[in-house]
Amino acid sequence: IDIYVRIKPVPRPSPRLVVDTSENKIEFNIPKNESAGLVNNQREHFEFRFNGILTAEAKQDEVFERVARPVVTGAMEGYNGTIFAYGQTGSGKTFTITGGPERYVDRGIIPRCISAIFSEISKRSDQQFTVHISYLEIYNNEGYDLLDAEREIKAMEDLQQVHLGEAEDGTVSYRNLSMYRANNEEEALNLLFLGDTNRTISETPMNMASSRSHCIFTIHIEGRKVGEDVVRRSKLNLVDLAGSERVSKTGVDGTTLREAKYINLSLHYLEQVIIALQEKAMGMNRPHIPYRNSMMTMALKDSLGGNCRTTMVATVNAAQDQLDESISTCRFAQRVAMVRNTVMLNEELDPTLMIRRLKQEVRELKEEIRLLKGEEEERGPLTPDEITRLQGTVETWVADDSPEAALNLGGSMMMIRAAFDIFKRLL
């Protein structure tokens, strides 16, 4: 799994956080706490390496090109992809994934992925694509469909509840999660806005600045070359995780405290999955990966250790009082980097297209057999009505641009000669 770190711009960044873009590493230099006494084994220096560093000056377009563009390109070719952001509350995860609401240039990874996909589709005239969108929210370990447009949404409980299961092949299946077809960029963005609106309404008024849920926006892509039976299907998961936070720091209570406990518990289970996958990658005997411990880890099962190209963005806060949380985020990212996914091309034969093509081949072979046997019925010349119908059939076939179009003349030499006469007149 590729890992990137994005540093949130703050008014007074700590000098104890050192960024080295040439080596793609960041360092933390933390002096020992003298009040700990004479026996003090506290580490003073931490160093973490990444596939790339997005500094505080990095713009949204740079983030997309470096982090998301390769994953989108793979999805267009039939490879599953996932991009997720991880970090403490207020470190810039939602800004990275969804973007800012005020300026067009602040668009995040999701709207830029949508634009890139439909831009690429418009360039591939020799291929046919269909795109579907789903949007899942996980709040307090319960799943909700953010694209539930059939009911009036006033509170979280009004959303359709989603249940997860496991298919026979081990992949994750969803019940009650709607998928809507998007024919163009505008329709896809409208679905994103609908989901974000439902998510905003569902946020807790006590903490509007912080996302209190995990959200997974999925773009399902199906494509095939014109005239071919082979279909490529892929899905692109764009994940905005709720922020990890220390309850003692935030000082929350009531509903917000309950939310924080669920968030921290689900992130704890995510870390347990990552540790198990890391140990498996190192050759240790870990037959069981605890995906089932939470809904969020189940939803990310394919993305973590499965058939998927996954990229993580670790968001860190450079402020002095947030360095301990930033170190924890970087440690988690290093574990994620050890996870090995098996990326495979999702390619299969479309049974409907294959049956249609085989039927056409059977008709053509039957005609060929009749011609070879010379089984021409003894009859008189074609009637005017037969010639008129034949002319309509020929003209329809000539006007059809589809490579699958066929001119069925029933294997009759008389019909074939008449069809050639019609061709001459058309020319």
In sequence order, the 6+-apart residues with CB closer than 8 A to the CB of 250 are 89, 256, 260
From the list 83, 134, 111, the residue with the least C-alpha distance to 237 is 83
The answer to whether the annotation marks 374 as part of a ligand binding site is no
The answer to whether the annotation marks 78 as part of a ligand binding site is no
Helix (H) / strand (E) element for 18: namely strand 17-20
Instruction: Let me know the angle formed at the C-alpha of 97 by 141 and 94, rounded to the nearest 5 degrees.
Output: 65
Instruction: Let me know the angle formed at the C-alpha of 66 by 64 and 67, rounded to the nearest 5 degrees.
Output: 65
The answer to whether the annotation marks 396 as part of a ligand binding site is no
From the list 105, 91, 309, the residue with the least C-alpha distance to 210 is 91
C-alpha span between 252 and 257 (Å, rounded): 5
The answer to whether the annotation marks 311 as part of a ligand binding site is no
Pairing of strands 81-87, 230-240: parallel
The answer to whether the annotation marks 160 as part of a ligand binding site is no
C-alpha span between 73 and 68 (Å, rounded): 9
The answer to whether the annotation marks 227 as part of a ligand binding site is no
CB atoms within 10 A of CB 318: 22
The answer to whether the annotation marks 92 as part of a ligand binding site is yes
From the list 88, 105, 56, 158, the residue with the least C-alpha distance to 323 is 88
The answer to whether the annotation marks 81 as part of a ligand binding site is no
Q: Which residues pair with 349 in a beta bridge?
A: 230
C-alpha span between 259 and 253 (Å, rounded): 9
Largest Cα span, the chain: 115
- Residues of each annotated binding site for ATP: 87-94
User: Which residues carry a binding-site annotation?
Assistant: 87-94
